Amino acid sequence: MRNIIVAASIAASFLAPNARAADAVAQRLYVLDCGTNYGKDQSRWSPGVNVGQPILLADNCYLIRHGKQTLLWDTGQPDEIAGKPDGVETAGGAIIARRTKTLAAQLAEIKVKPSDITYVAISHSHGDHIGNLKLFPRSTIVMQQAEWDFAFADPAKSPLPASQKVMKLDGDYDLFGDGSVMILSTPGHTPGHESLLVELRKTGPVLMSGDAAHFKDNWDNRRVPGGNTSKEQTLASMNRLAELVSDLHAQLWINHDKPQREAQKLAPAFYE
């Protein structure tokens, strides 16, 4: 019930009269190439489907400029991988991670200093999303309390220094207080997985689904990877996101969908 009310209020805030949208701070959204994941067997993500077939997945990060404030959404593969043309095996050899450009270089290209980034939010705690957290010791990390408890609570396992500022959320959150950037709780891939809804003047609403689904075919068929922490929560989260896409006429951006990334403008180009 709570989720339905929240979804309705989010839809209402996005569908409010244009006067409100006109008052909102203009935003820019940059798509950053944060690497690729070569999966040796697609069925890791789509149980029983395309067993033994390889799949190439994108790995994106997104930078949102909101007036003088900035949000980096996910940090991708570690920048060190860019120095290794053959990539690095992850997930016990099931995946080869590669990067052609570093995150640091792409931020420099758009004249954003890591130390100036206000917030760094993570969709979840997997290595291909948190690989560069160390570049942002002065930013506030934004994540769900449930994800913190799942992955970062043990200081020996946390990638964050003790001095890092961390904003721990319990559900949805209006990051800048004007409804233009909404963090949405979408658990299931991990216990504290979250998604991001951004309102842009020309482009309209864009919903970044994180790893609620890994690629369009999985989204279309509501397939849940075997490694997710909850199948039920994943399906509920996908349904929630689908309702928002439909209610808001939002674009759905699936982080790891490689064909979708090929069709997008990459930084230094941007959406506004």
Comparison of 128 and 172: residue with beta carbon closer to Zn ion: 128
Cβ–Cβ under 8 Å, residues 195 and 252: no
Using CA atoms in the order 218, 86, 110, 58, what is the torsion angle rounded to 10 degrees?
0
Half-sphere exposure of residue 108: CA atoms within 13 angstroms, side-chain side: 6
Q: What is the pattern of x (binds Zn ion, CB under 5 A) and - over residues 39-78?
A: ----------------------------------------
Q: How far is the CB of 41 from Zn ion (least distance, A)?
A: 16
Residue 271, both tokens:
């959406």
The SS3 assignment for 175 reads coil
For position 172 contacting Zn ion by CB under 5 A, the verdict is: no
In 10 A of CB 126, how many CB atoms? 19
Per-position x/- string for 119-148, each x denoting binding to Zn ion as judged by CB under 5 A, each - no binding: ---------x--------------------
Question: Cβ closer to Zn ion: 172 or 211?
Answer: 211
Q: Edge-to-edge, what's the strand order for the sheet holding 165-169? A: 88-90, 95-98, 27-39, 55-66, 69-73, 119-121, 140-144, 165-169
Please report where in the chains the tokens 């969709």 appear, as a residue.
123
In the complex, the smallest distance separating the C-beta of residue 126 from Zn ion, rounded to whole angstroms, is: 5
Shortest distance (Å) from residue 210 CB to Zn ion:
8
Interatomic CA distance for residues 189 and 213, integer angstroms: 8
| 147-166 binders of Zn ion (CB under 5 A) | none
Tell the smallest beta-carbon distance from residue 143 to Zn ion (Å): 15
User: How far apart are the C-alpha atoms of 121 and 185, rounded to whole Å?
Assistant: 12
Asked if 209 contacts 254 with a C-beta cutoff of 8 angstroms, the reply is: yes
> At closest approach, how far in Å is the CB of 139 from Zn ion?
21
Measured from the CB of residue 75, what is the shortest distance to Zn ion in angstroms?
A: 12
Q: Give me the least distance between CB of 255 and Zn ion, in Å please.
A: 6
Binding mask 203-242 vs Zn ion (x if CB under 5 A, - otherwise)?
A: --------x-------------------------------
Give whichever of 70 and 255 is closer to Zn ion, judged by the CB atom.
255
Question: Torsions phi, psi of 12, nearest 5?
Answer: -65, -40
CA distance 256 to 29: 17
Q: What x/- string results for residues 83 through 122 when contact with Zn ion is judged by CB under 5 A?
A: ----------------------------------------
Instruction: Estimate the crossing angle of helix 231-248 against helix 2-14, to 10 degrees.
Output: 30
Whose Cβ is closer to Zn ion: residue 79's or residue 211's?
Answer: 211
Q: Which chain residues interact with Zn ion by CB under 5 A? A: 128, 211
